[in-house]
Amino acid sequence: MPRNKLLQALLFSAMGLTVPVLAQADTLASFINKGEGEISGMVRSYYFNRLYGAPKKENQDAYSLGGILTAKTGSLDCFSAGVSFFTANSLGTHGGDAKGVVTTLMGIAPSINALGQAYLQYAF
């Protein structure tokens, strides 16, 4: 199949898939606009350090900016759904020396991201 024919086929396939997705997005938007759904979140910042006061033991510290974003749908035939996303980022504040970073909070990685929860709920 020639390249431009393949691109056309992919484009029309994507357009065919877009209509149901947009319809679902419109349904979700209507839940939120009616006041039945909810989007919420919070941002947190922390700084943690360990000061050993010993000449052979290096002090450690860690900084992170993180938060949670939660979205809940309204009820549709007694069903609703929710999802939460968690994130934390050091914003480049971890030094080049891994021995100086407190790893008990976030680890040595510059960021951590997770889908914290996703659920389907039935209530009548």
Per-domain residue ranges for the chain? 1-35, 37-122
The percentage of the chain sitting over the pLDDT mark of 70, rounded to a whole number, equals 69
At 21 the three-state DSSP class reads helix
Q: What is the pTM of this model?
A: 0.58
Cβ burial of 82 (10 Å; 0-12, 13-18, 19+) is: middle
Res. 20: pLDDT tops 50: no
Q: How far, CA to CA in Å, does 1 sit from each of 4, 5, 7, 9, 10?
A: 8, 6, 10, 10, 12
pLDDT in tens, 50-102: 888 888 888 888 888 899 999 998 888 888 899 999 998 888 777 667 777 77
pLDDT in tens, 40-54: 999 999 888 888 888
The percentage of the chain sitting over the pLDDT mark of 90, rounded to a whole number, equals 19
Q: What is the pLDDT of residue 18?
A: 42
